[in-house]
Structure 1
Amino acid sequence: MADDSWRLPSTVQELAAAVEEPPTRYLIPEEDRLGGHLASAEMPDPVPVIDLFRVSGSHGAAEAEQEAAKLRSALHSWGFFLVTNHGMETSLMDAMAPASRAFFQLPLEGKQDHSILKDGKHWRLEGYGNDDVNAQDQILDWSDRLQLRVEPQDERNLACWPKQPESFRDLLHEYTVSCGRIKDGILRAMARLLELDEDDCLIDELGDRGSTYARFNYYPPCPRPDLVLGIRPHCDVGVLTLLLMDRDVAGLQVLRDGTWYGVPPVGHGYGLLVNIGVSLEIMTNGIFRSPVHRAVTNSEQERISLAMFYAADLEKEIEPMAQLLDEKQPARYKRVKCRDLLAAHREYFARRERVVESLKIQ
């Protein structure tokens, strides 16, 4: 019988505590080590900051127009921005990071109760562990994760939801509801930028059964941060991502014009980083572009983040919106069912390629 043990790598947290050098499976290709290893340039300007209350028009038309101009600039220059004044309670944001950290600090046996491997060998999208390993020569990322489907609420698989710490489930539910309101406010602001007929046009594009996944990312210290990535370069595949970054430890980098730029942590701020996904790039016919980004490691500190991924209904077909097309601006992307896009993304992600390139109309 063939040895398939390579498909089931150890958790990185467990590995990091036991090795002085990363196994070769984690080392990036030689060609990617050129040009300053994994160092990044400092962003030429601060991360764009958008006041969600202002852009909604709650302060008046003039302030909304000014904030919308900032949003337009952020979307065209970087594809991401920090959203502030978003209405989430600061106490809730303060509670999420320690609750996340408490889960990853549990003994391995406790975390394995929520393993991403069904019956110990079949990978699934939800649970605790690593990304799917499809090939023996696949380069692995120096990170563990807990991924949970949080919406639709009636499709939550609570067997995957940790019971420890005791506050985890209630906090995640409250956080999900609050992030949903923020997501809707952002999509409405984008719809107005695109001059769509209705403010809810982009929200409606997700369908009645749109999916939301919460992904808790854990990056242990790495002995060779110059040779190992926390997460490989990629674009998020969904419509929108809301990221609660580690407030103190940097690690996120974004690619722009061939240069990797480091995104600084938010410190004691309460902003959420908003990232455009491939699905929204297709829907807007490339007006909004999904940024390529990656996570690097460091040798001294662990880092934790929480990403909320918003995707359309799995049975919904994603394509450029008709309102944005005309003879001068024909469709640039093929139509694709959301379920098929997510499956294709996992294959391209494993190969370190962008699925959106396969959907462009030549």
Structure 2
Amino acid sequence: MIFDRHEIHKKSYKMNENMVGVSVLAAPAPAAKALLAKRVQEMVLYGDEPPALYISRDDHDATDGDGDGGDDFSSPVPIVDIGILSCSEEPFTKEYEEELLKLNSALHTWGCFQAIEHGISSSFLDEIRKVAREFFEQPMEEKNKYSKTVAGFEGYGANPVPEQGQPLDWSDRLFLDVCPPNQRKLQFWPQTPTSFSDVLSEYTEKMKIVTELTSKAMAKSLNLEENCFLKQFGKRLIVQARFNYYSKCRRPDLILGLKPHTDGSGYAVILQDEVGLQVFSNEKWYTVPKIPHALLILLGDQMEIMTNGVFKSPVHRVLSNSERDRISIVMFYTPEKGKEIGPEDGLVDEERPRLFKKVKDYADTHWEYNRRGMKALHTAHV
């Protein structure tokens, strides 16, 4: 039997926060490095049994469903109408103020929300999903033209090798640097489908409108100057696109598409085609439901820092599924390289003292802790 239940990792959402000052550069596991040279799609295609290094769930955790959301807790993840928030001229309407309160509550309680009426057409969102699926459905020989290195980020393949003892993710992905434009490594941008580059570039432009509007609304909901977060991100903010493919899995009770983690970015915008994403709240995992053409906006650690802990960076994960595959497209937004960020002054007072110090390039620190299954936010505490 390939699965040793006694060696399964402890509850995977219990991320270690007590490693301040230790080295986080230990060598990755050789076995994991060898496995990641082979795509999950290949293993499924050839009928391979999932290797034990992919096990990341235990008996207690495995009771929360098989990835279809049917046995999971009904998700109360809030829905926010971005269309209402786009009408921000003073005097504010009652409808606008109510939606602003809803946004504030969502990010304070959940750290995420489902955005509707965001201004991107359903047909275009269907188009970028189509392009993503067409890429992953190509022969392996074609996809491998854009392969990343085993330890690298950008390109096609699996997540970079985690450190010894960390489970692997049951997924393949295409990760691309999008902004600043002069940082794009076009050798990783697929030539097939032929429309890939144009569609991603157009998606990036459309998403810029959505994210700038959302950043301003977040600031207003906290009674801050509307451009304050945009200023912290900087004019050369980093935008990265991640196309995820979650293959069918024979053992969704033991294996995750993506391990529990928080994001090291400022925030992410997620377009999903099927359920599978879960958010951890109040000691429970909640499945994010599929709302056609909605965008899930999910905060990362750097927004928790900028808001002095008022808004939360949620732990989340992706389930695997034995009956169907799943695709998601994620756009990550991170402050520009070398730019110092910290809590907004308007969110620091006697009642709420400063919780975080100023940091720069936090995403690099986050990754080094994340690859060991650990949170990094404590490194920014005062």
CA distance, structure 2, for counterparts of residue 334 and residue 23 of structure 1: 42
- Native 8 Å contact 1:319 1:334 kept in 2: yes
1:326–1:48 Cα change, 3 Å? same
Q: Deviations over 1:291-333 (max 9, x none)?
A: 1110000111110000000000120122212222123322112
Q: Residue 42 of structure 1: CA displacement?
A: 2.0
CA distance, structure 1, for counterparts of residue 30 and residue 272 of structure 2: 35
Provide structure 2 residue ranges, at least 5 long, that are not aligned to the other structure. Answer: 1-28, 66-70
Amino acid in structure 2 at the alignment position of 1:100 = A
CA distance, structure 2, for counterparts of residue 307 and residue 71 of structure 1: 20
* Partner of residue 334, structure 1: 357
Give the structure-1-normalised TM-score. 0.90
Q: Deviations over 1:32-87 (max 9, x none)?
A: 43154453632363x31111121233595222101112112211222111111111
The alignment covers a number of residue pairs equal to 346
Amino acid in structure 2 at the alignment position of 1:55 = L
* Segment drifting more, 129-138 vs 78-87: 129-138
Provide the aligned C-alpha RMSD in A.
1.9
1:258 to 260, 275, 283: 283
Amino acid in structure 1 at the alignment position of 2:260 = P
CA distance, structure 2, for counterparts of residue 50 and residue 4 of structure 1: 45
* Partner of residue 24, structure 1: 52
CA distance, structure 2, for counterparts of residue 228 and residue 358 of structure 1: 30
Provide structure 1 residue ranges, at least 5 long, that are not aligned to the other structure. Answer: none
CA distance, structure 1, for counterparts of residue 162 and residue 170 of structure 2: 17
1:220–1:200 Cα change, 3 Å? same
Amino acid in structure 2 at the alignment position of 1:349 = N
Give the structure-2-normalised TM-score. 0.86
* Partner of residue 303, structure 1: 326
Amino acid in structure 1 at the alignment position of 2:276 = G
1:325 to 348, 351, 356: 348
* Partner of residue 74, structure 2: 43
- Native 8 Å contact 2:64 2:72 kept in 1: no
Show the 5 A alignment for 1:142-161: 142-161=170-189
* Segment drifting more, 315-324 vs 208-217: 315-324
* Partner of residue 231, structure 1: 258
Q: Give yes or no for the alignment of 1:88 onto 2:120.
A: yes
Q: Deviations over 1:274-305 (max 9, x none)?
A: 10111000010000001111000011111000
Show the 5 A alignment for 1:137-176: 137-176=165-204
Show the 5 A alignment for 1:179-328: 179-196=207-224, 198-246=225-273, 249-266=274-291, 269-328=292-351
CA distance, structure 2, for counterparts of residue 38 and residue 296 of structure 1: 10
CA distance, structure 1, for counterparts of residue 213 and residue 229 of structure 2: 11
CA distance, structure 2, for counterparts of residue 82 and residue 135 of structure 1: 33
Amino acid in structure 1 at the alignment position of 2:254 = L
CA distance, structure 1, for counterparts of residue 236 and residue 199 of structure 2: 23
Q: Residue 334 of structure 1: CA displacement?
A: 2.7
* Partner of residue 345, structure 1: 366
CA distance, structure 2, for counterparts of residue 115 and residue 291 of structure 1: 30
Amino acid in structure 2 at the alignment position of 1:180 = K
CA distance, structure 1, for counterparts of residue 75 and residue 365 of structure 2: 34
CA distance, structure 1, for counterparts of residue 178 and residue 316 of structure 2: 24
| Segments of 4+ moved more than 4 angstroms | none
Amino acid in structure 2 at the alignment position of 1:206 = F
* Partner of residue 18, structure 2: none
Please state whether the residue corresponding to 1:260 is helix, strand or coil. strand
* Partner of residue 57, structure 1: 87
CA distance, structure 2, for counterparts of residue 273 and residue 138 of structure 1: 27
- Native 8 Å contact 1:38 1:296 kept in 2: no
Q: Residue 355 of structure 1: CA displacement?
A: 1.1
Please state whether the residue corresponding to 2:193 is helix, strand or coil. coil
* Segment drifting more, 53-62 vs 349-358: 53-62
Please state whether the residue corresponding to 2:50 is helix, strand or coil. coil
